[in-house]
Amino acid sequence: MSYDVVILGLGYVGLPLAQQAIRAGMSVLGFDVDETVVKSLAAGRSHVDDLSDADVAEMLAGGFRATADETEIATARTAVICVPTPLSEGDGPDLRAVTGATGSVGRNLRAGMLVVLESTTYPGTTDDVVRPLLERLSGLTAGIDFHLAFSPERIDPGNAEYGAHNTPKVVGGYTTACTEAAAGFYGRFIETVVRARGTREAETAKLLENTYRHVNIALVNEMARFCHELDIDLWDVINAASTKPFGFQAFYPGPGVGGHCIPIDPNYLSHNVRSKLGYPFRFVELAQEINATMPAYVARRAQNLLNADGQAVRGATVLLLGITYKPNIADQRESPAAPLARQLAALGATVSYHDPHVGTWDIGGVPVSRTEDLEGAVASADLVILVQNHREYDADHLARLAKRFFDTRGVTTGREAHRL
């Protein structure tokens, strides 16, 4: 059997993309090196927040099939790479998943195929890393024998308004013909396709999007620190500034940044600037420093709240509410809850958590105690810290129950809570 597309990497990006292609009537093959994922999908079980088991069942009924056999890639007309791009131990780009997936495609590449990289990465990856590997393994030439393009993923987990089908899709090809081939492919199941000048422009566009958020979050995080010292209500400041109908976009402070994009992608950009140009991207690196130190700042504020009442943090019971990086999802990647818990534990606190979306949680392999009785745990803890405001939480009610309530999300309205 031949397929319209094979999607490599069946995670939070690849699986929703496959779903939209299936719904558009395309034949879709999924490839993942994790056989557990392949077997789970074959059994109709979803492992990502945005797709239910019923969604997977719908995909299977539409002809979707997952495999761990890379030779089946040769049966598809288009290959889309949607694998993770984390940071290395030295906080530089880790492209092992990208080169691994590219190798799988290259060994099975046929003339006339379209290959698209969606994984977020530094400018030049498609041309300088992916293309040579594909050409060497296949003996084919990009732009002549096969099409090659980059199209940044824009998945926003938990967003009910914008999904894969109605979020504009940027595409940039190795050649103009490659761009048009990619635009034609995505145009079959995505409402709006935006053509970039080339692969590097498309790669940089994604980094700009996330770096823009990163530096603006850092701005309000630093403002949160000095506003607290000056006894200024930053949340009221932001609400007032937001009434300006032009020239201002609201960003909000928090206990740190998390997820698959904001803590990671700006590092790809600053690393690229340093390695290729020899000087730092100071704005980005300063933002990274500010955001990365927010969990430690929250821990110090927590310690001060306890000390103000004559209680030491050592031996105190601290309950964290919401440990995911976004509200109303189960994804904990790069969540600031983890470094916050480590900081509190290092100060001697006994840390527990409640999260309706997370059944078990460990920090560096050490399990963190989970409470089932939300109101009872809130009432008994020496300090409650709202880290993520899930829809299940009535923050004002919980603040009234607590001995001390530290709201890092600015959602409480009464005087019972201390806000970031």
At 81, list the tokens. 């790479």
Q: Is 382 helix (H, G, I), strand (E, B) or coil?
A: coil
Helix crossing, 294-308 with 199-229: angle to 10°? 20
| Inter-CA distances, 273 with 101, 152, 285, 357, Å | 26, 20, 11, 38
Residue 150 near residue 298, CB atoms below 8 Å: no
Residue 40 host element (H or E) = helix 35-42
Nearest to 210 by CA among 121, 144, 136, 316: 121
Catalytic residue among 82, 178, 227, 261: 261
Please identify which residue in the block is written with the tokens 């997936």: 101
Task: Work out the burial of residue 71: count CB atoms within 10 Å of its CB; fewer than 13 is exposed, 13-18 middle, 19 or more buried.
Answer: exposed
Helix (H) or strand (E) holding 80: strand 76-81
Quote the Cα angle for 164-169-175, to 5°. Answer: 140
Tokens 């309950």 correspond to: 319
Question: One-letter amino acid identity for 215?
Answer: V
261 is catalytic: yes
Residues labelled catalytic: 261
